[in-house]
Amino acid sequence: MTLSDFHKQFPDEKSCVDYFKAQRLSTDLTCKSCSFKDFTFRNSKLRFYCKNCNKSFSLKSGTVMEHSNLSFMSWLFCIKYMTFTKKSVSALEMQRLLGFKRYEPVWFMMHKLRIVMGKRDALYELKGNIEIDEGFFERIDESSLDSKNEYNKEDDSSQKRGRGSQRQSKVLVMTESKKVKNKSEKNKHKPDRSVGYIKMIVMDDLKANSINKAVNENVDQHTEVLSDGYKGYAKLKEIIATHLVLVEPNKSKSAKQFPWVNRVISNSKKMLIGIHHNVINEKYIQNYFNEFCYKFNRRYFGNLLFDRLVVAAITNTWD
Ligand SMILES: [Zn+2]
């Protein structure tokens, strides 16, 4: 599906409403008052009415769109574009594509979708063999750019770039990474390990107790975790089946032993600087990693990704 296919499928707001309605009805839609599961829908009000008790609720309620005044088409277009591009999209670019006068609603919409992506991936625990490493991400603290604005104008870097203070975020990176057996001649330039799911967790600190807490929440305990000799990993053996420590002082050799965490760190750094110019508020940086990991973890989904994100966005109760 391309963007022109999008406009064919969704030529107007009504087609978007119909699609949303159908998607919501395909989930386990239940009346909060009486638990009945059968509804009528009024197009004029965009509300569902319970066939048993007649209580009603809006098409948006309980979804990521709750409290949003943006059209259904704007949301679907944004979901389409965010899943369509391999790379990330800036809110400024999305604002241009949507033809909006205001930047903030677009920025909020995109962050809400990134939170949905994070919630979805949080349901999955990493399994098997896992590489773990810590990454340090430079960012320009937005609060020193414009303290009046609650939101982060991450794209407006042309004038403001460099004015904010340089900060660093610490990120724990974990990748499912299996040793490739009998690598063919054709693939000899590829890493010795193949990758599965990945996770990136923004950390307040990299002390052993904090790392253990993050690993405990995100990794199955029957795994084999591979790390370098950093002291923050010293207590991993208390919570997982096997902890292997590889101490390799030579940087390029060490990169080969941890091919996927290294790739994930360097590609996500490229995403942050290339699309968002590193002007990112600490409060929101996890969201960008959510998007990076969500798309990486579904890299073979192709066109299915759009529907998947829509379903995630309407079933994740928004709070
Ligand atoms: Zn009811």
Instruction: Check whether 156 has a pLDDT greater than 60.
Output: no
The CA 38 to ligand 1 mean position distance, Å, reads 8
Instruction: Using the predicted structure, report yes or no on whether residue 64 has a pLDDT greater than 60.
Output: yes
Report how far ligand 1's centroid is from the alpha carbon of 53 (Å). 4
Instruction: State pLDDT tens for residues 192-218.
Output: 888 999 999 999 999 999 999 999 999
In the reported structure, the alpha carbon of residue 15 is separated from the centroid of ligand 1 by a whole-number distance in angstroms of 27
Closest among 155, 154, 15, 151 to 76, alpha carbons compared: 15
Q: Which alpha helices (DSSP H) does 27-134 contain, by range?
A: 72-84, 91-98, 104-122
The answer to whether residue 171 sits within a structural domain is yes
| 37 CA → ligand 1 middle, Å | 8
Q: Which two tokens stand for residue 218?
A: 């995100």
Tens digit of each residue's pLDDT (9 = 90 or more) over 119-147 = 999 999 999 999 999 999 988 766 544 44
Average pLDDT over every residue of 149-165: 46
| Average pLDDT score, the chain | 88
Does one domain contain both 97 and 220?
Answer: no
CA distance 35 to 31: 5
Q: Per-residue confidence at 316, pLDDT binned at 50, 70, 90?
A: low
What domain count does the chain have?
A: 2
Is the residue at 289 inside a domain? no
137 phi/psi in degrees, rounded to 5: -110, 120
* pLDDT tier for residue 282 given thresholds of 50, 70 and 90: confident
68: confidence class by pLDDT, cuts 50, 70, 90? very high
- Per the model's pLDDT, the better-predicted residue between 158 and 51 turns out to be 51
Terminal-to-terminal C-alpha distance of the chain: 31
- φ, ψ of residue 48 in degrees (nearest 5): -90, 145
Calculate how far, in angstroms, residue 267's C-alpha sits from the geometric centre of ligand 1.
49
User: What's the gap in Å between 113 CA and the centre of ligand 1?
Assistant: 29
Q: Are residue 110 and residue 128 in the same domain, yes or no?
A: no
pLDDT reading at 154 higher than 60: no
Cα of 31 from ligand 1 centre, angstroms = 5
Section 37-47 average pLDDT? 95
Q: Please name which of 218, 215, 209 lies closest in space to residue 227, comparing C-alpha atoms.
A: 215
Cα of 49 vs centre of ligand 1, distance in Å, is 8
Query: Which pTM does this prediction carry?
Result: 0.89
Residue 33 main-chain phi, psi, to 5 deg:
-80, -45
Domain enclosing residue 102, as ranges: 3-120+309-314
* One-character DSSP codes across 277-302: TTB--GGGHHHHHHHHHHHHHTTT-T
Instruction: Say if 96 falls within a structural domain.
Output: yes
Please give the distance, rounded to the nearest whole angstrom, from the Cα atom of residue 188 to the centre of ligand 1: 61
Alpha carbon of 28 to ligand 1 centroid (Å): 14
My answer on whether 148 and 218 are in the same domain is yes
Give the whole-angstrom CA distance, residue 170 versus residue 203: 5
Determine the pLDDT at residue 160: 43
* Whole-number CA gyration radius for the chain: 22
Q: Ligand 1 centroid vs 36 CA: distance in angstroms?
A: 5
Q: Domain of 233: which CATH number?
A: 3.30.420
Distance 56 CA to ligand 1 centre (A): 8
Q: What is the pLDDT of residues 75-123, one digit of tens each?
A: 999 999 999 888 888 999 999 999 999 999 999 999 999 999 999 999 9
* 234 and 222 housed in the same domain: yes
- Give the residue-averaged pLDDT of 233-238: 96
pLDDT band at 280 (very low <50, low <70, confident <90, very high): confident
Lowest mean pLDDT among 44-58, 59-73, 107-121, 152-166: 152-166
CA–centroid distance, 52 to ligand 1, in Å, is 5
Please check whether residues 104 and 146 belong to one and the same domain.
no
Residue 85: what pLDDT? Answer: 84
Residues 134 and 64 in one domain: no
Q: What is the mean pLDDT of residues 18-46?
A: 94
Ligand 1 geometric centre to CA of 29 (Å): 11
103 plus 199 within the same structural domain: no
Average pLDDT over residues 271-289: 85
Ligand 1 centre and the CA of 39: distance in Å?
9
179 CA to centre of ligand 1 in angstroms:
54
